[in-house]
Homo-oligomer: A and B are copies of this chain.
Amino acid sequence: MAKSTPEMNNLEMSEGNKPLLNAVIRHIHDNVDPITEEFYRLGEGRADRWSYAPGQLELLEEAKQKARDAGLWNFFLPNAETGEGLSNLDYAYIAAELGKSPLAPETLNCSAPDTGNMEVLERVGTQAQKDKWLKPLLAGEIRSAFAMTEPDVASSDAKNISTSAVLENGEWVINGEKYYISGAGDPRCKIMIVMVKTSPDAETFRQQSQILVPIDTPGVEILGPMHVFGHDDAPHGHMHIKFTNVRVPEENILWGEGRGFEISQVRLGPGRIHHCMRSIGQAEKALDLLMDRALNREAFGKRIVDLGKNMETISRARIEIEAMRLMVLKAAKAMDVLGNKEARIWVSMIKAMVPEKVCDIIDQSMQVHGATGLSQWSPLSSMYTGTRTLRFADGPDEVHHHVVARAEVAEFQESNERQLAAHGKAQGKVFSGP
């Protein structure tokens, strides 16, 4: 089993951060919920799918200002000087709330992928890089993207990355193709962190680097949006981008050549915890919608909730939701106690566990809704497609299961064989007892 310590079972939020959690809840209720419908309604009328309609950004900026005023701005980021900040466990509780509102994260400047990008810049950026890119990101003036996945290789195996960067006359010359670059469609997106292969002859995990590439650099061509179940998710977008002889200054490299994989360990940070907590929020919502429908419709002379297996469906959903929530909190706590590196088995556990189960719960809710559940009258189908993509994002389920099993096997080989022997192992022909 993955390493666990007694204190890792204390999953209670710290007293000190409960006021922050309450402030976030209040902010969402007071400042975000009231503008949500209007924000999307305005967006429906926009001329260019890849822009915002007049008034949309104003609404957002107003809510952002309220968050700044309330001291809720950038709380996700550790204090630059003291290193102090929210524990992952406490952040998980907040993420659960953020997950209930599509606009809330941005109003608090903690949207993906900006959070990961800011964290990386904060930890490994040079002062010049920080001044140029971290400052406006922290101010909420620009947005950013992270270009990792490539269409032509199995990106579940990060060693396959083939986009190349070659140093020529003090410039990195980048060639290759990336896709599913989330957020790169937003007109406010100005900077990308691009994973490239710089050192094909180095040892396997030292071949990659991460480089800052302004999105308006010549040679960066946005070929179009990748669709998810037919949706382009404009104006955010999951873009397909071609890099043709894209040139950026040598100093745009992050942390040095060959450190691309090391940086990935840093950015893993709260991202997956956040994704999983948000998914659990979706599961809660799907279950609420299921009950709302099942209690308020009748067929064959009964409420739908009283037909067939629906009560058991509700119970199984509730049980899985509670189990997932505890597991995500434990993974967050593991990061706090063990550090990102040792905690990564716990993180893989929740990444492999949560999106798959949440997809099932949303699907069951759709089934109880009938055709309406698939339609625009219900958020369920877009909740489903959004969660379905998480079974690939940051590595497909299969890769995470492999990580978990490999750790399990290694740990078994080290220690359990002894313990098994001690407790009476089922070794051929000598077993007896009940």
- Cross-chain contact of A377 among B153, B377, B381, B426 (Cβ < 8 A): B426
B229 touches A420 (CB 8 A): no
Question: How long is the Cα–Cα vector from A371 to B392 in the complex, in angstroms?
Answer: 6
Instruction: Flag the segment in A77-85, A165-173, A310-318 that touches B.
Output: A310-318
Q: Are A401 and B312 in contact (CB under 8 A)?
A: yes
B378, B422, B433: the one within 8 Å of A426 (CB): B378
Tallying the copies of this chain within the complex gives: 4
Given contacts A228-B375, A315-B352, A432 and B11 within 8 Å (CB-CB): no
Indicate with 1 or 0, residue by residue over A295-309, a CB within 8 angstroms of chain B CB atoms: 101111000110111
Is A396 at the interface (CB under 8 A from chain B)? Answer: yes
Instruction: Name the residue in A229, A309, A321, A412 with the highest tally of chain B Cβ atoms < 10 Å from its Cβ.
Output: A229
- Tell me if B151 and A409 are in contact (CB < 8 A): no
Q: Pick from B377, B417, B426: contact of A428, CB below 8 A.
A: B377
The reply to whether A2 and B318 form a contact with Cβ atoms under 8 Å apart is yes
Q: Give the residue of B13, B154, B371 whose beta carbon is less than 8 angstroms from that of A370.
A: B154
The contact sample of 5 A-B pairs, CB cut-off 8 A, is A9-B11, A308-B311, A311-B409, A322-B349, A323-B324
Q: 10 smallest A-B Cβ distances: which pairs?
A: A309-B309, A154-B299, A315-B401, A315-B404, A326-B326, A157-B299, A40-B433, A323-B323, A311-B405, A10-B12
Chain A positions near chain B (C-beta within 8 angstroms) = 1-2, 6-7, 9-13, 18, 29, 33, 36-37, 39-41, 44, 100-102, 149, 151-157, 160, 179-180, 226-231, 233, 284-285, 287-289, 291-292, 295, 297-300, 304-305, 307-309, 311-312, 314-316, 318-319, 321-324, 326-327, 329-330, 349, 352-353, 366-367, 370-372, 374-382, 384-386, 388-389, 391-393, 396-398, 400-406, 408-409, 412-413, 416-417, 419-420, 422-426, 428-429, 431-434
